[in-house]
Amino acid sequence: MLGSRSVSFWFGARSVGDTQLDGSPLDRLVYLFLIVAGLLVLAQRRIQWSQLIADNKWLSIFFLYLGISVLWADYPFVAFKRWFKDAGNIILVLVILSEEDPVEATRAMFLRCAYVLVPLSVLVIKYFPDLSRTYAPWTGAVEYCGVSGSKNMLGSTLILYSIALLWEALELHDDQSGARKRFEKSSCVLFLGMIAWLFLKAHSQTSFACTLLGGGILLAMRLSFIRSRASRIEIYAVTLALLFLLFNSVFDIAGIFVHALGRNLTFTGRTEIWQRVLGVPINPLIGTGYYSFWLDPNRVEKVSEGFFFHLDEAHNGYIETYLNGGLIGAFLLVVLIAFALRKIKRDFLNEGDRFSIVRLAFLAIAVVYNFTEAAFDRQSFVWFALLLAIVGRLRQVTLAQEGRRDQPEPHAVAPLIEGS
């Protein structure tokens, strides 16, 4: 659902009332069903909630603050419904990660989404233009969105499909048992080819750059020279950032890279949007309330002056978090990202498996993607992947394991559950 359009769109259901405030009754029902079903599954699996919260305290604090922020929103009930739906992302993440083999479950989820939505996007772009194409309101240029809601949304999903397929391809390459057939390897190549074609159609340069970043991390971490220095990843990250700032001030590296992607240093007008939204008077400490900045029609009219359309996002996840949650929300988000990097590094040093590397790729993608798009704390595939990366592993006791306390756990599962 996050990689496609809403359920109500595919079934032709019409929204009642203000779509910005009320949304679709069918979509609300579907999300509520999934959240309740997820809670029932987790209840059966006996998740250790106290341990889970302790292992993810900054994620818990961040979501708790977002929930409290609905109290000062212009429309508290609307903000609460949005927060509740976002909390459903956590529930579904826990369903995946509480599987007996969470690594395989994660890979299967992304691959199955890719196997369905990538060919469908190719199909509708080629043969169903009414479903797959929109037109830019300020230029009239055609934009290809496939089964997604926009070209940027299509691009964000292609990032994760690409990483999942590359992950699968690397697993197939390392499989020396011969159990994985040549057909599966050919399928990865075929789907990666479809994704490359969709990238050319979507012209989502941010997504393409993030795909290169994530794929580069997967490949680079296979080198022993880099893997052996993973314990200093924070130092290397800060050093690279400082070196980039130094060389950029001399050689304008950012300008060269942006122009190579076919963009300008205004990021297709985004810098003007950032200046406008940051100039709107809000409470700088606590913001306007969860996901509420764009609910005020007067505020939207003011920041949209001079554009041929009404803005509905800041096109920057960090600024968007500030607008809704203030400096407190932005600070908690930065701390959460730092915590996630530290946790992923710890898991990699303890386990040394490829799942930690994939989580690192998801984290890096989310950090970079949100510089030009808003994908934090909302219904976004990038945010969903980031939550998977943050939680990562569960210390859990399932009903099946309780029934086998007198028997040794399967060797294949034991290393996948932290503390086992």
| pLDDT tens digits, 326-342 | 999 999 999 999 999 98
Residue 240: its pLDDT value, please?
Answer: 67
Sign for the CA dihedral angle at 85, 86, 87, 92 comes to: positive
Backbone torsions φ then ψ of 276, nearest 5 degrees: -70, -50
Q: Which residue in 187, 96, 104, 207 sits closest to 146, CA to CA?
A: 207
List the Cα angle 131/135/138 in 5-degree steps.
Answer: 160
C-beta of residue 407 within 8 angstroms of C-beta of residue 109: no
pLDDT one-digit tens code per residue, 92-117: 999 999 999 999 999 999 999 999 99
Which positions ≥6 away from 345 have C-beta within 8 Å? 230, 231, 233, 234
Q: Which residue in 82, 88, 83, 79 sits closest to 36, CA to CA?
A: 88
pLDDT one-digit tens code per residue, 224-257: 877 777 777 767 666 666 665 565 555 455 555 5
C-beta of residue 132 within 8 angstroms of C-beta of residue 202: no
Backbone torsions φ then ψ of 369, nearest 5 degrees: -60, -35
- The more confident residue out of 65 and 174 is 65
Residue 325: its pLDDT value, please?
Answer: 93
C-beta of residue 383 within 8 angstroms of C-beta of residue 66: no
Q: Which residue in 192, 169, 200, 209 sits closest to 114, CA to CA?
A: 192
C-alpha span between 70 and 291 (Å, rounded): 8
Residue 351: its pLDDT value, please?
Answer: 75
Backbone torsions φ then ψ of 134, nearest 5 degrees: -130, 175
Q: Which residue in 378, 273, 331, 298 sits closest to 74, CA to CA?
A: 298
Sign for the CA dihedral angle at 81, 84, 86, 91 comes to: negative
Paired tokens of 390: 């943050």
pLDDT bracket for residue 261 (50, 70, 90): low
Backbone torsions φ then ψ of 28, nearest 5 degrees: -60, -40
C-beta of residue 381 within 8 angstroms of C-beta of residue 183: no
- Asked if pLDDT for residue 382 goes beyond 90, the answer is yes
Paired tokens of 369: 């993607």
pLDDT bracket for residue 407 (50, 70, 90): very low
Q: Which residue in 368, 352, 391 sits closest to 105, CA to CA?
A: 391
C-beta of residue 98 within 8 angstroms of C-beta of residue 43: no
Q: What is the DSSP secondary-structure string of 122-151?
A: HHHHHH-HHHHEEE-TTT--EEE-TTSSSH
pLDDT bracket for residue 21 (50, 70, 90): low
Paired tokens of 31: 């999300």
Residue 383 β-bridge partners: none
Residue 14: its pLDDT value, please?
Answer: 62
| Continuous H helices in 1-56 | 7-10, 25-45, 49-55
pLDDT bracket for residue 137 (50, 70, 90): low
Q: Residue length, the chain?
A: 420
